[in-house]
Amino acid sequence: MSIATVFEIVLAAVVLGLAIWTIAVPETYSATVGFVAYGLLVALIWVRLDAVDVALTEAAIGGGLGGVLLLGAAARLRNADPTAVETPCKLVRLCAAALSSLIAAALVAAILLLPDPAPTLAPAAVAKAWATGLANPVTNVLMAFRAMDTMLEKVVLLLAIVGVWSLASDPAWGGRPGPRHEADPHGVLAFLARLLPSVGIVVGIYIFWTGADHPGGAFQGGAILASMWLLVVMAGLTDTPPVSSRRLRFILVAGPGLFLVVGIGGLCLGPAFLAYPLALAKPLILGIEVAMILTIAATLGLLLAGAPERSEQR
Amino acid sequence: MTEFLTAAVGFILAMLALGLVSILRGPGDADRMMAAQLIGTAGIAVLLLLGTIAGVPAAIDVALTLALLATFASIAFVKKGLSRFEADGAGSTEDK
């Protein structure tokens, strides 16, 4: 047994143990911290499996933004009245456990019953990479071969933000999301919020740009940009924009909108919906991705900021 | 050289497991979050070493992403925690 195998077994055991603890621990805060650490370790596993694109997304969403979202939820739950939370009866809990075990068993069976070698379109995707001029097969699949799915995903993001906004109370509608953060303007947090975004914006754009040929892409880059924006907001250096702002709403629809325009252009001028002309494939994809990284950064940031809570003036 | 780097990965993983023990034991929220930050730092180190050993340069990008978002997560934790303590009024019983 080589060192690499030992490493993999140890890592898998640690992740499994942490996952079970995260589910079993009663306090929401501890479970959230466990989940953040879990996301980190899963990112390590994805790198080990040579799926660096997935590792990047896991690091950005699972460990980073998802963790912060859960932290906020845990803080709210703790503020809420604890007596209002009723424990479900034993039968419901038993049924839930049985259902979860059944799903886990079905997943295990599905993996064990996979034919060997598993059916794959990977060689076909790699063979057709010349058509777009992009070397990263994941970006090729996302932006060209299965562009329809990606476009619809962006529409789902838009629906998610509409869902979050619809939780606003009537007087706060159209106002600014989240509490107004105050911080010492000469403190450590304000200093960090001035220093780190300059690095973070460069890294975010780099992750997006390198996505053409290496692991990376608009989603991961957008997640980094969103976190940098929220850092500045949390330090009190700037405020979240009112959700009635036209400019904000334009940014939110820019990504899916441009995607749709290019798709319909392919339908009118070319053979099919979202068919890029060969010579223009790379510039078109890059253009869509530039619009998308802005949309993704704004959407993820606003999803984390939450529903509008304050009227526009304050 | 590769053997040395692999041994270093093993050592860091052992430290990372110790950090996990600290997450399990607590006792406070802040202790758990500090342990998660330690695991984040260890994860970055492991990624950089693994990237060098296996010749995967993109692992460095993952490490960069982790570094930025781990900082963000810890600040979000402090902000949410602080607003909670203020909301409690007398509040600071939990961090003593």
Measured from the Cβ of residue B66, the count of other Cβ atoms closer than 10 Å reads: 26
Q: For residue range B20-79, list pLDDT tens digits in order.
A: 888 887 777 778 888 888 888 898 998 899 888 888 888 888 899 888 888 888 888 777
Residues in chain B: 96
Can you count the helices (H) and strands (E) in chain B? 3, 0
Mark whether A176 and A66 lie in a shared domain: no
A83 pLDDT tier (thresholds 50, 70, 90): low
B93 inside domain: no
Confidence (pLDDT) at A6:
79
State mean pLDDT over A136-147.
83
Mark whether A45 and A68 lie in a shared domain: yes
Confidence (pLDDT) at A11:
84
Q: What are phi and psi of A272, to 5 degrees?
A: -155, 170
B96 Cα to chain A: minimum distance (Å): 17
Do the bridges between strand A176-177 and strand A308-310 make them parallel or antiparallel, or are there none, so unpaired? antiparallel
Mention every residue, 6+ apart, whose C-beta is less than 8 A from residue A239. A176, A180, A233
Lowest-pLDDT choice from A34-43, A121-130, A195-204: A121-130
B54 inside domain: yes
Mark whether A69 and A211 lie in a shared domain: no
Confidence (pLDDT) at B93:
37
Lowest-pLDDT choice from A143-147, A222-226, A301-305: A143-147
Mark whether A179 and A237 lie in a shared domain: yes
Mark whether A66 and A155 lie in a shared domain: no
DSSP E strands, A30-184: 176-177
B8 pLDDT tier (thresholds 50, 70, 90): confident
Closest residue by Cα to residue A134 from A218, A256, A39: A218
Domain containing B66 equals 2-88
B31 inside domain: yes
B94 inside domain: no
Q: Report the domain count for chain B.
A: 1
Mark whether A101 and A153 lie in a shared domain: no
In angstroms, how far is CA A162 from the centroid of its own chain? 17
What does pLDDT average to over chain B?
78
Closest residue by Cα to residue A210 from A291, A134, A288: A134
A184-209: buried (b, 16+ CB within 10 Å) or exposed (e) per residue?
A: eeeeebbeebeebbeebbebbeebbb
Enumerate residues 6 to 25 of chain B having a beta carbon within 8 A of any beta carbon in chain A: 6, 9-10, 13, 16-17, 19-20, 23-24
Residue A236 in contact with partner chain B when CB distance is under 8 A: no
B88 pLDDT tier (thresholds 50, 70, 90): very low
Q: What are phi and psi of B5, to 5 degrees?
A: -65, -40
Mark whether A24 and A142 lie in a shared domain: no
Q: For residue range A171-210, list pLDDT tens digits in order.
A: 888 788 877 777 777 888 888 888 999 999 999 999 988 8
State mean pLDDT over A268-276.
81
Residue written as token pair 């706060």 = A172
What does pLDDT average to over chain A?
85
Q: Of all residues in chain A, what percent carry a pLDDT higher than 70?
A: 96
Mark whether A98 and A133 lie in a shared domain: no
State mean pLDDT over A142-166.
88
Structure-block tokens of residue B43: 């994860």
Domain containing A58 equals 1-81
| Cβ proximity of A193 and A184 under 8 Å | no
Question: Who among A18, A67, A181 is closest to B73 (CB)?
Answer: A67
B96 inside domain: no
Mark whether A173 and A279 lie in a shared domain: yes
Measured between alpha carbons, how far is A62 from A253 in angstroms, rounded to an integer? 25
Q: Report the domain count for chain A.
A: 3
Q: Which residues of A touch B79 (CB under 8 A)?
A: 181, 234
The three-point CA angle B10-B16-B20 to 5° equals 140
Q: What is the pTM of this model?
A: 0.85
Mark whether A174 and A260 lie in a shared domain: yes
Mark whether A180 and A213 lie in a shared domain: yes
Question: Who among B6, B36, B59 is closest to A3 (CB)?
Answer: B6
Mark whether A243 and A256 lie in a shared domain: yes
| Cβ proximity of A196 and A250 under 8 Å | no
B95 inside domain: no
A79 or A148, greater pLDDT: A148
Half-sphere exposure of A10 (CA within 13 A, CB side): 16
Residue B65 in contact with partner chain A when CB distance is under 8 A: yes
A198 Cα to chain B: minimum distance (Å): 11
**A117 prior amide bond cis, ω within 30:** yes
| Cβ proximity of A20 and B26 under 8 Å | no
ipTM: 0.81
